[in-house]
Amino acid sequence: MAGAVNEDGTPTAHPVVTVTGPRTLHETNEAPTLPEPGRAIVDITYTGVCGTDVHGYTDGHMLPPAVFGHEWTGRVSAVGDGVSGLEVGQRVVGGVGPACGRCSQCVAGHARQCDTAFAEANGVDPDAPEHGAFAGQVHVSARRLIPVPDEVTDIEAALVEPATVTFHAVRRVAATPGAIVVIQGAGPIGLLTAQNARNAGAGHVIVSEPSSARRDMATDLGFTDVVNPSDLKARVEATTDGRGADVLYECTGVAALLQPSAELVRRGGTLALLGFPLDTSTVSYADWQVRELAVIGSLAYNHDDFVATIQLIAEKRIDVAPLHTGTVGLSELGDLLEELDSGRSSHTKVLVDPHA
């Protein structure tokens, strides 16, 4: 497979959508190119719309260009010189490469905090693509491409990236098997965190979510203790004999919830941060210190997190497909971002098909 072609056999230009200002999208057609050494061209199949994309759209300048449209899957259409392990036509997802072994973190023995992989995850590495994958194609470093096995569908592949974010977070917490866990927020990140926490041995999972539709989705995914936030404190107290949760995963990114979330955690327990607040958070330092809370931040992922997550999806131990609630074309992206920003959308995860 060599990508779309014109009648004379020459490659066609492909569409690209970028943010050029607050609530302003620019759609253009990009001329086809040949892959540079060490890089590959991927024809995009689907790109997931993330809360980060919504924030980047409304702000207009907060995201590096490569991050607007960072949840994607597609097929390799061309590979550059020096690339091994990838073939034209192969299905892949965009991830991060293995630890580089050369940066300061790697040399110091902290390979899981590799500076190179972290920069790739945040779209600020020297080899970052010029735009994200709200496009027909992306031209990326081949080290970032992770093969997709046949057991994983295209829809599932498009949800690998957010699933990997949550796998990374649960892995960092490393909770004791049998732990009582609270998931605050049942959006895509919360629902995926809940599944990964269950896989990691959580003994009891309480999911808190204001949306009835998302509470229903959590129930459909097999979680039996799903509550409205107004009932969360009482449920945690009843479940733990007043101690508090062993682990609380904060998945909403609402700054005002940080201290109330901490207060639901038992003395010596863990507050795990996945949601990314854009506002200043106020907390009680003394409260956290007196109760000896462990606070674990989590952002992005490592290469091996992607490999493990894909395997879990292939084995049906993480069910990502129910989170997919809609698909739109590139021309509908602006309207969708406005809908998601309104807070009134019924969607959980929407995918963009650039060829629709």
Tell me 296's DSSP state. Answer: E
Residue pair 331/136 in contact (Cβ under 8 Å)? The answer is no
Q: Which of 14, 26, 45, 52 is catalytic?
A: 52
Q: What pLDDT sits at residue 11? A: 59
Q: Nearest-CA neighbor of 68 among 130, 142, 125, 113? A: 130
Q: How many CB atoms lie within 10 A of CB 266?
A: 19
Which pTM value belongs to this model?
0.94
What is the residue type of 257?
L
Q: What pLDDT sits at residue 12? A: 76
Tell me 99's DSSP state. Answer: P
Could you list the pLDDT tens digit for every one of the 356 residues in the chain?
Answer: 344 444 554 557 899 999 999 999 999 999 988 999 999 999 999 999 999 999 999 999 889 999 999 999 999 999 999 999 999 999 999 999 999 999 999 999 999 999 999 999 999 999 999 999 999 999 999 999 999 999 999 999 999 999 999 999 999 999 999 999 999 999 999 999 999 999 999 999 999 999 999 999 999 999 999 999 999 999 999 999 999 999 999 999 999 999 999 999 999 999 999 999 888 889 999 999 999 999 999 999 999 999 999 999 999 999 999 999 999 999 999 999 999 999 889 899 999 999 98
30 SS3 class: strand
Q: Which of 12, 55, 58, 327 is catalytic?
A: 55
55 is catalytic: yes
Distance CA 121, CA 301 (A): 7
